[in-house]
């Protein structure tokens, strides 16, 4: 069987060879284990909450406070009579890079979402190997007014990720509270617009990925 280890990159494969009773073989000769990959921490050391209460109410950028902080979740405010306006996005949870990349400078790119977030049932991604650091919005209040993602990575990070999965936020992002990558050591690399209205609550999924270590898994 295969077993992944929380907060580490690497896999242990154990071969359990059952000895017949009375065979005279020692138990240690009946168990074998092989470790594959690099066993390094993929859990960020610190996380901060960036307040977007004012910045995301108007046109412009809302970002983490440092290029080497990456978004793992968002806090939205409650629905009001105006609808699920994007200005209800109030906080971003920004987490540090993992220890393997400590001390590196950051490399950032702008992801063009001007078209992708206008359409239902479509993903908007960072470039491969990059992690979300901020959002740019224009002057309207619809979901399509989120036009660009600011995506960063440690300077020596490869153009790929470790493990990735889709975090379902279709329910949690409809109401006041946090919606985040639920697995430790994962950062947001994309958002999915569902089949509903042009409003904030139509963000239904986050793409959550680990930083990549070594030559690949």
pLDDT per residue over 25-35, tens digit each? 444 444 443 44
Name the residue with tokens 């978004």: 71
The strand pairing partners of 129, in sequence order, are: none
User: What is the overall mean pLDDT for the chain?
Assistant: 85
Cα–Cα nearest to 72, from 52, 53, 97? 97
Question: Terminus-to-terminus CA distance in the chain, angstroms?
Answer: 17
Residue at 21 is within a domain: no
Q: What's this model's pTM, rounded to 2 decimal places?
A: 0.80
Residue at 74 is within a domain: yes
Residue at 205 is within a domain: yes
Q: Which DSSP string corresponds to 66-125? A: STTEEEEEEEEPPPBTTBS-GGGEEEEEEEEPPGGGTT--EEEEEEE-TTGGGSSSEEEE
> What is the per-residue pLDDT for 39?
44
DSSP 163: S
Residue at 28 is within a domain: no
Residue at 172 is within a domain: yes
Residue at 27 is within a domain: no
216 contacts 10 by C-beta, under 8 angstroms:
no
Number of H helices, E strands in the chain: 0, 15
User: pLDDT category, 81, cuts 50, 70, 90?
Assistant: confident
Q: Does residue 28 sit in helix, strand or coil?
A: helix
List, for residues 118-176, the tens digit of each pLDDT value. Answer: 999 999 999 999 999 999 999 999 999 999 999 999 999 999 999 999 999 999 999 99
Residue 5 to residue 14: CA distance in whole angstroms? 13
Residue at 140 is within a domain: yes
Residue 44 to residue 138: CA distance in whole angstroms? 31
Domain that holds residue 105: 47-211
Greatest distance between any 2 Cα atoms in the chain: 78
Number of domains the chain is built from: 1
User: pLDDT category, 110, cuts 50, 70, 90?
Assistant: very high
Residue at 157 is within a domain: yes
DSSP 22: T
> What is the per-residue pLDDT for 158?
97
């Amino acid at each position: 069987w295969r077993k992944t280890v929380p907060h580490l990159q690497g896999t242990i494969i154990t071969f359990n060879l059952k000895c017949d009773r009375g065979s005279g073989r020692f138990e240690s000769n009946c168990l074998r284990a092989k470790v594959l990959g690099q066993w390094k921490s993929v859990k960020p050391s610190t996380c901060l909450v960036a307040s977007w209460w004012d910045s995301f109410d108007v046109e412009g950028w809302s970002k983490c406070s440092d290029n080497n902080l990456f978004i793992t979740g968002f806090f939205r405010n409650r629905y009001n009579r105006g609808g699920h306006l994007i200005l209800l996005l109030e906080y971003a949870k920004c987490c540090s890079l993992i220890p393997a990349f400590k001390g590196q400078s950051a490399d950032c790119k702008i992801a063009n979402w001007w078209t992708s977030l206008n359409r239902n049932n479509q993903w908007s991604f960072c470039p491969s190997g990059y992690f979300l650091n901020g959002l740019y919005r224009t002057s309207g209040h619809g979901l399509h007014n989120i036009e660009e993602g600011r995506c960063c990575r440690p300077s020596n990070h490869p153009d790929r990720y470790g493990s990735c999965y889709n975090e379902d936020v279709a329910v949690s992002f409809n109401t006041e509270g946090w919606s985040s990558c639920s697995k430790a050591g994962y950062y947001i690399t994309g958002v999915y617009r569902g089949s509903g209205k042009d409003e904030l609550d139509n963000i239904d999924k986050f793409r959550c990925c680990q930083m990549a270590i070594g030559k690949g898994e």
